Structure formats: structure tokens, C-alpha cells
Amino acid sequence: GAVVSQHPSRVICKSGTSVKIECRSLDFQATTMFWYRQFPKQSLMLMATSNEGSKATYEQGVEKDKFLINHASLTLSTLTVTSAHPEDSSFYICSARGGADSYEQYFGPGTRLTVT
Amino acid sequence: AQSVSQHNHHVILSEAASLELGCNYSYGGTVNLFWYVQYPGQHLQLLLKYFSGDPLVKGIKGFEAEFIKSKFSFNLRKPSVQWSDTAEYFCAGSYSSASKIIFGSGTRLSIRP
């Protein structure tokens, strides 16, 4: 099946710094990638949808200047958390859609961000 | 608004018990439905999906789900659970091929050995 990877799996950063998380589709071309945030013991909340070569579409309440998304190629999307604060600490998960079955999304393993 | 809801937050069962986890979706046109599982410390895995056709869908690991249009439901079932089924289960829906997947709040399943 389709594989999606994320890097890094865990990151700790200081308040005020920026962190970049990468999401890669390893064996298929992802025309669309999604970024989710998951708080402990809660569900996945969609943050934004990105299509290759165009600007991301952010969900209501998500600050686009704080969570920068770039989908520069069909296999890579990046999420940059700018000027991170402790409340940004969370589990960030990406998913990718594309290939023969465009109804289904394939999820990455997630990135645990801790802001101190 | 399009939504997916799961009413059971935490279900505790003994091994070999039968399982049914509830999932309801709101009306919003054609819907594709999914059940995902997240084992402790692992990423989301697809258990099964419904797009069209036979409303009884069989997935991996002995799970199945039934799409009942009149009840807007897509409940997950397993006749006999195992300790290894301990995980978080998410129902999700997509209202068109081009749209996002909306997740339910999840149900934590704990199995007593």
C-alpha cells in the first residue's frame, strides 16, 4: 500500500523559534496533502489542505501566518510552525491523497512537537 | 453542517465479547465512510471503507461495518474481540471525492485479558 512518512518524529524547541515538519509520499504522487493536529485523547482536527503548486486552504480558526504550508512537489509538503509557543505543543499528522484511488487518504506516523 | 459523531468515548470489554461501536453522519449528499484504528504509539491505519454497493463492508482483522442509510449510521462490529484490539477507533466521512475527511471524536476501546 501507499506509504507516507514524516520527519522528524519528535521535536523539542524553545518558545519563539520556528519548526519545520516534512511529509513525504514515498511510492505515489500526492496531488493533495492534509495537515491535522491531534491533542491528547482527542480526535484529529484538520488544519489545512494543500494542493501541489497552489496555496493551502486553511480551516476556520487556523492562523495561516503561524502555520506555513508549502506543497512544492507531488511528493513533499512541509508545515512550519513559526514563533512557536507552548500551546502549539501537539501531535501533527499529515495525510496524502493521489494515485489510483483518489478517495482514500494515507496517513503519516505523526510528529510530536513540544515547545518549552 | 457535515459532521461525523461517535457517542461512545470509552468502551471496556472482556476478551471474546462482541463489539459494536456507533458512528453517525449528518446528511450532506453522497458520503464515503471510513473506520480508522490507532494502536497505542502508532499511526492511523485504515480498517475498512464504504464508497457504494454492498452496505455490509468487511475490513481487516475481522472487523466489519454496516452502512444504514435510513439511520445515517455506519457502526463498526467484531464478533469476538482480542486483547490486541485495544486501541482508539475513529469513524470518518468524506462528502465528495474532492473534499476533506471529517473525523469523529474517537472511541477508546480497552480489552480486559
Give, for all 116 residues of chain A, the pLDDT tens digit. 688 999 999 999 999 999 999 999 998 888 889 999 998 777 899 999 998 888 899 999 999 999 999 988 999 999 999 999 999 999 999 999 875 456 678 899 999 999 99
Cell of A26: 514515498
CB spacing of B49 vs A49 below 8 angstroms = no
CB B47 within 8 A of CB B35: yes
pLDDT recorded at residue B107: 96
Here the cell at position B59 is 475490513
Coil vs helix vs strand at B12: strand
What is the count of residue pairs from A and B with beta carbons less than 8 Å apart? 40
Q: Provide the pLDDT for residue B69.
A: 92
- Over residues B14-42, the pLDDT tens digits come to 999 999 999 999 877 788 899 999 998 88
Q: Choosing among B44, B102, B107, B108, which should be mutated to test the A contact, i.e. which has the most A CBs within 10 A?
A: B44
d(CA B56, CA B65): 6
d(C-alpha A84, C-alpha A65), whole Å: 12
pLDDT tens for each residue of B58-67: 999 999 999 9
State which residue of chain B sits closest to A31, comparing Cα positions: B98
pLDDT of residue B24: 96
Q: What is the pLDDT of residue B97?
A: 52
Query: Which residue(s) pair with B61 in the sheet?
Result: none
Q: Is pLDDT of B98 > 60?
A: no
Which residues, including other chains, have CB under 8 Å from residue A58's CB and lie 6 or more apart? A47, A48, A64, A67
> B97, A109: Cβ pair inside 8 Å?
no
Among B45, B49, B100, the residue with its CB nearest the CB of A104 is B49
Instruction: State residue B3's pLDDT score.
Output: 87
